[in-house]
Chain A
Amino acid sequence: MKPENEVERFVADTGLDTHAERDREILRDVLRAHDDFQQRRSQLRQPQTWRTIMRDHSRKLATAATVLLAVVLFFAVSDWMTKPAWALQDAIDALKDFRAVHIVGAFPGGTADVWIRANTSKTQSSDVVVKGSHGTITWTQDGATYHYEPNQNTVYYEHALTLGVTQWLGPELLEMLSTAQNVEVVRGKDPATGRDRVTLLCSLIDVQGAQSWIIEFDVASKLPVAFKQWGNLDRSGPPRFDALKVTYYEDLPDSVFAVHIPGQPVYVQKPLTIPDENIGVLSDTRDGLSAEGMTQQEAAERAVRTMFQAVIDGDLATLRKMCPLCKNWGDEFLRSVLLKTGKNQRIVEILKIGPISETGHSKLGPIVALPIAVQRQDGLRAEQRVIVQFRTLGGVSSCVVHGPYGLAREIK
């Protein structure tokens, strides 16, 4: 399309200047129109977002990109790592020195800055802050998760760490990925930079509902550089979160994670919910245990104890019977991710099961959350909240374990 003769050059090269003051005036008009549109869009989406938060456990923190990693790491996952096609070990080696990460990305309706820091032993995230472009802030603090909505001057909270990374970047991640069953790896070049990259595609159903991801690793640096997350298995539609930039840090100062909310917001506790798409898996009468003649506390405690004893004993059949969502995953994966067979983080003893702390309802019936304290082989103790689903099927009352309610916390 280069001009070939004088006339073409004359047309192509004839420029014009503009009056700077008028430039600024018009730009102000344009930006004002954009702001108006953004406000209208925000107002339209706000109720829907909150309804979604109320209804769908997986989206309770719509701005939270980190859910992505939480799932990949909590229950994740195939045998592609064992193939020499791509040495993920290199990526893990590249990652293990980093204790903190900063992610910039977009979710439907805005952008978000996400800061995550691991605990000192780098086993999982301990601090997370997500700042949305419309003033929303989501963060974790003292075992609870908070979500500030500036338009409503309200902070929604729940007594569980539902935002974060269940397995920090490191060798554990490699092991989990090496046991995955539904992972696909594609090699190619980044069209933007021409650099070699490896793209990981995966999906699964877990306590967060259906999830799928694309994660891009830069081959030279061995680091994950971008990812997308969808709330379905086939990566259809716009992603729930699109992370364009990922920056790694050896550490970040505490001030990054200190959240100050302006004014005097109203604090509202979020109701306990589970994803509707998990209801079907929880409805099999052959799973769980009878709750006939027992209080909710007694039945829930018994279900949780039975499940965790199965984890200690390595009894996969009982584990799947008590926690039917585990049926979605293979033996190797369960041993790697839940049982942690041969690892120091393996659970060796149930210390205590606490009283029901939250209650709610799913389409199947009442749900409750209660804490369990466990002793690990490495000497540390951890507390995990667990959600139990009650149901009355065929006139018989019974219950099953839905799964964890947020991340586990190390306790003294």
Chain B
Amino acid sequence: MLKDALLIWKFRSGDSGALAKIYEDHRQNLLRIAAGLLNQTSAAEDIVHDVFVRLAQSPDKVRLQGNLRSFLATCVVNRVRNANKAAQLRRTSALDEARAVAADDTGPQRWIVVNERLTVLNNALAQLPYEQREVVLLHLQGEMKFRDIARSQGVSINTVQSRYRYGLDKLRSLLDGEIL
């Protein structure tokens, strides 16, 4: 937490080395969360790319209430929600794009190196309702507390805990025989 505060202090003071360190420390986890939420690696890459660029352009807006990992995870989630809303407005074309991108997921320009375990997990996560998926990923990969997730989703902590429980139960059945 203090390490995060120091890093943010340096970053806000104009230290590009601090920004590079934030990127180095968090890019893979953010990609993991974005990919889990979207189940599209190219879209996930765009989201995380945008999050870092926006972060670089607005250091004064960084207000750390928890840890940096949670803060960045929340940024990713917010962007994914925006992307989802936009996608709902042009649902048909979005689905077409998704298929096209999925076919290109292993190309040389890709950022994420897709592995079998990640594919299994993301395919399972994709079958959860979005809210459950978000809670599971933010709690387990973003290391966010239920209280903070509840604030982020605008629901009660009980609702978040229920979503988490239902999400895990469904994942358990989906991943049965896949984990071990």
> A: which residues have CB within 8 A of B?
1, 3, 5-8, 10-12, 14-19, 22-23, 26-27, 29-31, 33-38, 106, 109-111, 133-134, 191-192, 244
A26 touches B52 (CB 8 A): yes
Interface presence of B158 (CB below 8 A): no
A-B contact pairs, 10 of them (CB 8 A): A1-B143, A3-B140, A15-B28, A16-B113, A22-B109, A22-B110, A27-B20, A33-B53, A36-B57, A111-B13
B140 touches A8 (CB 8 A): yes
Interface presence of B103 (CB below 8 A): no
Residues of chain A within 8 A of B89, CB atoms compared = none
Q: A6-B180, A23-B27 are in contact. Are A33 and B14 (CB under 8 A)?
A: no
Question: 0/1 per residue, B154-178, Cβ < 8 Å to A?
Answer: 0000000000000010011001000
Residues of chain A within 8 A of B20, CB atoms compared = 27, 30-31
B57 touches A8 (CB 8 A): no
Residues of chain A within 8 A of B121, CB atoms compared = 10-11, 14
Residues of chain A within 8 A of B179, CB atoms compared = 6-7, 10
Residues of chain A within 8 A of B118, CB atoms compared = 14-16
Task: Indicate the member of A14, A26, A244 with the most B CB atoms within 10 Å.
Answer: A14
A111 touches B14 (CB 8 A): yes
Question: 0/1 per residue, B130-168, Cβ < 8 Å to A?
Answer: 000000110111010100000000000000000000001
Residues of chain A within 8 A of B100, CB atoms compared = none
Task: Indicate the member of A7, A19, A109, A133 with the most B CB atoms within 10 Å.
Answer: A7
Residues of chain A within 8 A of B65, CB atoms compared = none
Q: A10-B179, A33-B56, A37-B56 are in contact. List 9 more A-B contacts (CB 8 A).
A: A1-B143, A5-B168, A5-B172, A14-B32, A16-B32, A18-B112, A30-B53, A31-B19, A111-B13
Chain B nearest CB: distance from A399 CB in Å? 43
B140 touches A33 (CB 8 A): no
A38 to B31, CA, bound (A): 26
A7 to B180, CA, bound (A): 10
A11 to B125, CA, bound (A): 9
Which one of B9, B58, B140 contacts A11 once the chains associate, using CB atoms below 8 Å? B140
Interface presence of B16 (CB below 8 A): yes
Residues of chain B within 8 A of A244, CB atoms compared = 6, 9
A106 to B10, CA, bound (A): 8
A191 to B4, CA, bound (A): 13
A30 touches B19 (CB 8 A): yes
Residues of chain B within 8 A of A8, CB atoms compared = 140, 168
A34 touches B113 (CB 8 A): no
Chain A nearest CB: distance from B50 CB in Å? 10
Residues of chain A within 8 A of B92, CB atoms compared = none
B9 touches A38 (CB 8 A): no
Which one of B57, B113, B143, B172 contacts A7 once the chains associate, using CB atoms below 8 Å? B172
Residues of chain A within 8 A of B55, CB atoms compared = 30
> B: which residues have CB within 8 A of A?
2, 6, 9-10, 12-16, 19-20, 23-24, 27-28, 31-32, 35, 49, 52-53, 55-59, 109-115, 117-118, 121, 136-137, 139-141, 143, 145, 168, 171-172, 175, 179-180
Residues of chain A within 8 A of B117, CB atoms compared = 14
Residue of A whose beta carbon sits closest to that of B144: A1
Residues of chain A within 8 A of B49, CB atoms compared = 26, 29
Residue of A whose beta carbon sits closest to that of B57: A37
Residues of chain A within 8 A of B19, CB atoms compared = 30-31, 34
Q: Please provide the 4 A-B residue pairs with the shortest distance between their CB atoms, ordered closest to farther.
A: A34-B56, A106-B13, A17-B113, A33-B56
Q: A11-B136, A26-B52, A31-B16 are in contact. Are A17 and B57 (CB under 8 A)?
A: no
Chain B nearest CB: distance from A39 CB in Å? 11
Residues of chain A within 8 A of B6, CB atoms compared = 192, 244
Residue of A whose beta carbon sits closest to that of B180: A6
A134 touches B14 (CB 8 A): yes
Residue of B whose beta carbon sits closest to that of A33: B56
Which one of A30, A38, A109 contacts B23 once the chains associate, using CB atoms below 8 Å? A30
Chain A nearest CB: distance from B19 CB in Å? 5
Residues of chain B within 8 A of A16, CB atoms compared = 28, 31-32, 35, 112-115, 118
A298 to B91, CA, bound (A): 86
Residue of B whose beta carbon sits closest to that of A11: B140
Chain B nearest CB: distance from A162 CB in Å? 24
A5 to B179, CA, bound (A): 11
Residues of chain B within 8 A of A6, CB atoms compared = 179-180
Residue of B whose beta carbon sits closest to that of A6: B179
Q: A14-B121, A35-B16, A133-B15 are in contact. Are A30 and B9 (CB under 8 A)?
A: no
Residues of chain B within 8 A of A10, CB atoms compared = 121, 175, 179
A168 to B58, CA, bound (A): 40
Which one of B10, B14, B111, B114 contacts A38 once the chains associate, using CB atoms below 8 Å? B14
A29 touches B53 (CB 8 A): yes
Residues of chain B within 8 A of A5, CB atoms compared = 168, 172
Residues of chain A within 8 A of B172, CB atoms compared = 5, 7
B175 touches A7 (CB 8 A): yes
Q: A37-B56, A37-B57, A110-B13 are in contact. Are A7 and B168 (CB under 8 A)?
A: yes
A18 touches B13 (CB 8 A): no
Residue of B whose beta carbon sits closest to that of A8: B140
A6 to B175, CA, bound (A): 10
A26 to B28, CA, bound (A): 13
Q: A14-B117, A18-B112 are in contact. Are A106 and B9 (CB under 8 A)?
A: yes
